[in-house]
Structure 1
Amino acid sequence: MKNGSIKKGMVLKMDFIELFKVIILGIIEGITEWLPISSTGHMILADEFIKLNMSDEFMEMFFVVIQLGAIIAVIAMFWDKLFPFSFKKNESFIKNDIMSLWFKVIVAVIPAAVIGIPFEDKIDELFYNYKVVALTLIIYGILFILIENRKKDSVFKIQDMSQLTYKVALYIGMFQVLSLIPGTSRSGATIVGAMLIGTSRIVAAEFTFFLAIPVMFGASFIKLLKFGFTFTGNELAILFTGMIVAFVVSILSIKFLMGYIKKHDFKIFGYYRIVLGLVVILYFMLNN
Structure 2
Amino acid sequence: MPLISAVILGLIQGFAELFPFSSLGLLVILPHVVHLHVPTQGSRYLPFLVALHAGTAIALLLLFRHEWIRIVRGWFLWLRGTHTDDGRLAWLLIWGTIPTGLVGLILKHPLEHLFSKPLLAAIFLIVNGLIMFGGDRWYQNRRSRKVPLHRLSVGSAFKIGLFQILALIPGLSRSGSTMTGGVGQGLSFEDAAHFSFLLATPIILAASVLELPKLHGGLHGLLVPSLVGGILAGITAWLSAKFLLRYFRLHNLSQFAWISIAVGVLGVILIH
Match of 2:36 in 1: 51
What secondary structure is seen at the aligned counterpart in 2 of 1:73? helix
Match of 1:237 among 224, 249, 254: 224
Q: Counterpart in 1 of 2:78? A: none
| 1:18-74 deviation line (CA, Å, top 9, x unaligned) | 333222111101000111111122112321225346695543311111211111111
The Cα shift of 1:144 comes to 1.8
Residue 142 of structure 1: aligned partner: 130
**8 Å contact kept, 2:28–2:116:** no
What residue identity is the alignment partner of 1:267? Answer: S
Distance 1:145 1:253, change over 3 A: same
Distance in 2 (alpha carbons) for counterparts of 1:258 and 1:98? 20
CA contact (8 A) 1:120 1:180 kept: no
Indicate whether 1:210 and 2:180 are aligned: no
Q: 2:77 maps to which residue?
A: none
Matches within 5 A, 1:1-288: 18-48=2-32, 49=34, 51-52=36-37, 57-84=43-70, 85=73, 96-125=84-113, 129-149=117-137, 151-152=139-140, 155=143, 157-225=145-213, 227=214, 229-231=216-218, 235-285=222-272
Counterpart of 1:83 in 2: which secondary structure?
helix
Aligned to 2:79: none
User: 1: CA distance between counterparts of 2:174 and 2:115?
Assistant: 15
> Structure 1 146/170 Cα, relative in aligned 2: closer, same or farther at 3 Å?
closer
* Greater mean alpha carbon deviation, residues 119-128 or residues 175-184: 119-128
TM-score, with structure 1 as normaliser? 0.81
Query: Which secondary structure state, in structure 1, belongs to the residue aligned with residue 145 of structure 2?
Result: coil
- Where does the alignment leave 5 or more consecutive residues of structure 2 unmatched? 75-81
Question: Greater helix percent: which structure?
Answer: 2
Residues 189-229 of structure 1 show CA distances to partners (whole Å, capped at 9, x for unaligned) of 1111111222111111111111111110111222234x263
Partner letter of residue 218 of structure 1? A
8 Å contact kept, 2:14–2:237: yes
Structure 1, unpaired ranges of 5+ = 1-16, 87-93
1:20–1:283 Cα change, 3 Å? same
Following superposition, the deviation at residue 179 of structure 1 comes to: 2.1
Tell me how far apart the structure 2 counterparts of residues 249 and 50 of structure 1 sit (CA, whole Å): 23
Counterpart of 1:169, as a letter, is A
CA deviations on 1:91-131 (whole Å, 9 max, x unpaired) are: xxx89322321221111111112221021221333685234
| Greater Cα radius of gyration, structure 1 or 2 | 1
Give, in whole Å, the separation in 1 of the partners of 2:16 and 2:65: 22
How far apart, in 1, do the equivalents of 2:266 and 2:28 lie?
12
Query: CA 1:128–1:174 in 2, change beyond 3 Å: closer, same or farther?
Result: farther
Q: What is the CA–CA distance in structure 2 between the aligned matches of 1:143 and 1:60, rounded to whole Å?
A: 25
Partner of 1:9: none
Does the Cα contact within 8 Å between 1:37 and 1:188 map onto a contact in 2?
Answer: yes
Answer whether contact 2:28 2:170 (CA < 8 A) is retained. no
Distance (Å, rounded) in 2 between the aligned partners of 1:280 and 1:43: 12
Aligned-residue sequence identity (percent) comes to 28
On the 8 A contact 2:133/2:254 being kept in 1, the answer is yes
Verify the 8 A CA contact 2:50 2:212 in the aligned structure 1. no
- Cα distance, 1:246–1:156 mapped onto 2, change above 3 Å: farther
Q: CA-to-partner distance for each residue in 1:239-286, whole Å, 9 max, x for gaps?
A: 22111111111111111111111121110100011101101111111x
